[in-house]
Amino acid sequence: MSDRSRIAAVYLLGFAIDLANMFMLNAAYPALQRELHASVAQLAWVGNAYVLGLTVVIPLGAWLARRFGERRVLSASLLLFGCASLGVALSASIGALLAWRLVQGLGGGLLIPVGQAMAYRAYPPDARAHLTSVVMMVALLVPALSPALGGIVVDRVSWRAIFAGMLPLAVATCGLAFAWLPPDGARARPEPLDWPGFGLSAVALVALLFGLTFAGQPGAGRLAMPTLAAAFAAGIGYVWHARRAAAPLLDLGLLAQPLLRIGVVIYLCVPGVFAGVNLVAALYLQNGLGLSATHAGALMAPWAIASFAAIATTRRGLPRWGAKPLFVGGIVVDCAGIVLLATPLAALEAGRVAAFAAMGFGASLCTSTAQSAAFVDVPAERMGDASALWNLNRQLSFCVGVAVLGSAFNGLLALDAGGPALLPYRQSFALAAALTLIPLWLVARLATRPAALAQPVSRRS
């Protein structure tokens, strides 16, 4: 196994553990609720606490890697994640469990961006499509298999065994990190930590997550608006600070690079919006069309098959055609799938299968292309900063998509009370389709030549 393959393997193992931790949890909710006497709102925060830890610590990842070394930070994050998982497994109350989930998120928030920076730095730009295809396969397979595996563990052992089992996995991956990752060499002392930037970013991110959570809850609108306003104010404060700081915590200047900037917008408007579509579609299929939960869930099968096809298309097509036609094709196909859900054809099985297959192919084509191309222009020494921005945006995209579509759907339900029962669903899908088209104006400005992916920005037409 080559050195770069070993680096990628450690990153992918950590990525898989992080995904399994999130998706195996779905099977544990009922047993956890019974044993710890948790309310529905408290159950929601089992996931939210983890995401909160992730988003707060991700901006620190690049600075910590420069200060202590990437291998040390990656290994420490795995151990922190594993120990916190054991803490979750041993929790005697819902309060203790939520606290340990927050600590788990702090470990996971360092694990992914630092590992991703090391892996993408190890691969030259023309080989990153292959790396991305493997990353996307893990991102598809682990969420697909984890709920079933989690159900078996809960039924045969306990919900606690899900979290206890994360500890040996994290320790084993930590051992591989020490064995396979290049040792941290001598480092120049990094710039001091940007404490004002950290404070402003933390306030902005925490307020944004709370605001989005409130926005998605009926009757909590009075809490959402001031919280989101605080997030906006802190975010503007951070942008103002970052433009004047010598070494800002999050280097927003990296967004001047077209492929990274377009990738960020693509993630927000395509997979982010799909997360919201998935929420509304689950309600539409079961409450609106009368499908069973099993029948509705089975529609993810054509979605997954089409996603695999899209990943293979990116791997072969990106070096040949470049990013632009793949982005355009993915956006158009994804939008067509969402529009199909908004038509009467969604009442037919063939229409639903076609819609989910189109969304799977289009969204995955955009995502895999964005992931492959985003770091092409990023210098090796700034890969950590770019990875932090990328992963922060990725995490927030799903939260924003669910909050926007969920809030829009709730508002449309209230406005259309007494109207056609399916109209709010279809209006929500129409809104989602329009949001998906937003990146096209940025994509239109990209260079068309495939060779552009292998050239620095200064040499592009």
Residue range 28-48, pLDDT digits in tens: 888 888 899 887 678 778 888
CA-based angle 434:437:439, to the nearest 5?
140
Predicted confidence (pLDDT) at residue 325 exceeds the cutoff of 80: yes
pLDDT above 70: percentage of residues in the chain = 93
Same structural domain for residues 433 and 412?
A: yes
**Tokens at residue 118, please?**
């090391």
pLDDT at 460: 43
Average pLDDT over residues 276-297: 86
pLDDT band per the 50, 70, 90 thresholds, residue 451: very low
pLDDT at 150: 86
Same structural domain for residues 74 and 175?
A: yes
Same structural domain for residues 178 and 101?
A: yes
Predicted confidence (pLDDT) at residue 80 exceeds the cutoff of 90: yes
**Torsions phi, psi for 173 (to 5 deg):** -65, -35
In a domain, 311, yes or no: yes
Range list of β-strands (E), 194-353: none
In a domain, 275, yes or no: yes
In a domain, 363, yes or no: yes
Same structural domain for residues 155 and 13?
A: yes
How far, CA to CA in Å, does 196 sit from each of 62, 73, 237, 369? 16, 23, 10, 35
Residue range 251-268, pLDDT digits in tens: 999 998 889 999 999 999
Same structural domain for residues 223 and 269?
A: no
Look up the domain containing 235 and give its range: 199-248
Q: Are 447 and 324 in contact (CB under 8 A)?
A: yes
In a domain, 70, yes or no: yes
Average pLDDT over residues 374-389: 87
In a domain, 190, yes or no: no
pLDDT at 457: 43
- Burial of 235-247, coded b for 16+ CB within 10 Å and e otherwise, reads bebbeebbeeeee
In a domain, 192, yes or no: no
Mark which of 183, 209, 230 sits at the end of a domain: 183
| Residues contacting residue 151 through CB under 8 Å, at least 6 positions apart | 27
Predicted confidence (pLDDT) at residue 180 exceeds the cutoff of 90: yes
Cα dihedral 373, 374, 377, 382, rounded to 10, equals: -140
